[in-house]
Amino acid sequence: MENLIEKLKTEIVTQLNLEHIKPADIGTDDPLFGDGLGLDSIDALELIVLLDQNYGLSIDDPEKGRTIFKSVRTMAEYIQANK
C-alpha cells in the first residue's frame, strides 16, 4: 500500500503538471481539492484519465469520484480494491 501511495503521488505530479510541487510535499491524507492540494475541475478529469490509463479503472458514477479522489490514500484504496 505504501509503495502504491508513493507511486500515485509521483503520477499525480506528472499527470497534472504540478511543477511547483514535489511528490513528497503531498500529504497522504490531505484533501486533493479545496484547501488541500487545490486541484480544479480539469484536474479531476485528469485524475480519471490517470486511473484509466495507468490502472485500467474507469469511474462511471461521478458521485463515486468525490469519495475516490478525496485524498491519495482513498485513491490508493480504490485501486487496491478494484485492480
8 Å CB contact between 37 and 26 = yes
In degrees, to the nearest 5, what angle opens at C-alpha 79 toward C-alphas 75 and 80?
Answer: 115
53 binds other proteins (CB under 8 A): yes
**Residue 54 engages other proteins in binding (rule: CB under 8 A):** no
Q: How far is the CB of 71 from other proteins (least distance, A)?
A: 19
User: Any contact of residue 13 with other proteins (CB under 8 A)?
Assistant: no
> Quick one: residue 30, left, alpha or beta (phi over 0 = left, psi -120 to 50 = alpha)?
beta
Which residue, 21, 20, 18, 25, is CA-closest to 47? 18
Q: Among 22, 52, 56, 80, which residue sits at the site for other proteins (rule: CB under 8 A)?
A: 52
Considering beta carbons, is residue 42 or 81 the nearer one to other proteins? Answer: 42
Interface residues with other proteins (CB under 8 A) are: 16-21, 38, 42-43, 45-46, 49, 52-53
